[in-house]
Amino acid sequence: MAYSKGFIRFQWTILISIYLIVVAGSLVRITGSGMGCPDWPKCFGQWVPPTHKSELPADYREKFAEKRGKKIDKFCRFLSSIGLKETAAKIQADPTLRQEEPFNVSKTWTEYGNRLVGFLAGNLLLIGLIWAIIKYRQRKIIGLIVLNIVLMGIEGWFGSIVVASNLVPWTITVHMLLALIIIAVQLYIVKLVSVRQKGTIEFTSTLKWLAIVVLAITFYQLFLGTQVREYIDALTKQGFGRESWTEKLGWAFYIHRTFSWLVLVLMVILVWKNEKMKKYWIVRSAFIVLGIELTSGVLLAYANMPGLIQTSHLVFAAVLFGILTMLVFRLKSASDQN
């Protein structure tokens, strides 16, 4: 079925909005604004958050700490029900998770902006679903959009858990991985509706698997990167500044750095073969983005981890993941044609 240019562009718009969530989430992390809003989906019990402490009741910290405690208890019961009793016990035993931070207007509005971007992406998905049902009635497209709406709902719910648990490290990692899955699903929708993206990329079986391996490592790299960020949060709480982070990071940082060079080597091989064959621009684009992403990684390691570089490092890694995902979606080995 042929889809209208408007519908195709709308799906690209949804993809951009999902990436904006990644950008906004990264800004929240580097500014330490994750607890800028103590509740969810409202912020300090309001749809439009306060701009001054005087707009809050005198006992707001105790009030929201109590609410967080109830959410933590509910979440721990859920974890226990799925067999994660030890994890639930650790969360329950951590007294710091039930402490409320003082109001900070800049952090509050940074976190609120993050939520607005998520709200925008969710509503765009709903509009896309209605559009697909009314005009196209294609079960596969409708099913994928519904899947992404469900995943977005889970992501939003888990965002509330991240807030309630006072940014427990592993919850942040799950939150990020869910975002990558949503990106992958949306990319597949774009591939199905866009004429340009339907064109297959003809690789040999070896190159096809090489591209898949690069994508898999990139996905794992994003996971490791999140782990590194969690270690940084822990070091910050212990009073260590940016200048000492690199030398105190654990095994995840060194594996992350080593795998970065592995991805570079594999991508050089992929690009070299690509230039000898069809010269697909999507492969060139992946290599360019990888170069920027690695450069930002070097700056992170040797330039005292500047905040905006952290955001660019994550964003370009997510963009690289997206390009490689679309590449894999479009792959067709030369042997498949025989």
User: Which domains are seen in the chain, by residue range?
Assistant: 1-198 (no CATH), 200-338 (1.20.120)
> Angle at which helices 105-131 and 5-30 pack, to 10 degrees?
160
Residue 43 β-bridge partners: 46
Q: How many CB atoms lie within 10 A of CB 153?
A: 12
Q: What is the pLDDT of residue 184?
A: 95
What is the three-class DSSP state of 201? strand
Quote the DSSP letter at residue 100: P
Q: What is the pLDDT of residue 332?
A: 75
Q: How many CB atoms lie within 10 A of CB 133?
A: 14
Distance from C-alpha of 241 to C-alpha of 248, rounded to nearest angstrom: 11
The verdict on pTM exceeding 0.85 is no
Is the bond into 169 cis (omega within 30 degrees of 0)? no
Whether 233 contacts 173, CB under 8 Å: no
Q: What is the pLDDT of residue 337?
A: 46
Whether 206 contacts 335, CB under 8 Å: no
Q: What is the pLDDT of residue 279?
A: 78
* Residue of 307, 308, 266, 312 whose CA lies nearest to 293: 312
Distance from C-alpha of 255 to C-alpha of 297, rounded to nearest angstrom: 13
Q: What is the pLDDT of residue 338?
A: 40
Over its length of 338 residues, how does the chain's per-residue pLDDT go in tens digits?
788 999 999 999 999 999 999 888 888 877 777 778 887 778 888 888 989 888 888 888 888 878 777 777 887 887 788 887 887 887 777 777 667 778 889 989 998 998 899 999 999 999 999 999 999 989 999 999 999 999 998 888 777 676 666 556 667 778 788 899 999 999 999 999 987 776 678 888 888 899 999 999 999 888 887 777 767 666 666 766 666 666 666 677 778 778 888 999 999 999 998 888 777 889 999 999 999 988 887 777 666 556 677 778 888 999 999 999 999 998 875 555 44
Q: What is the pLDDT of residue 284?
A: 92
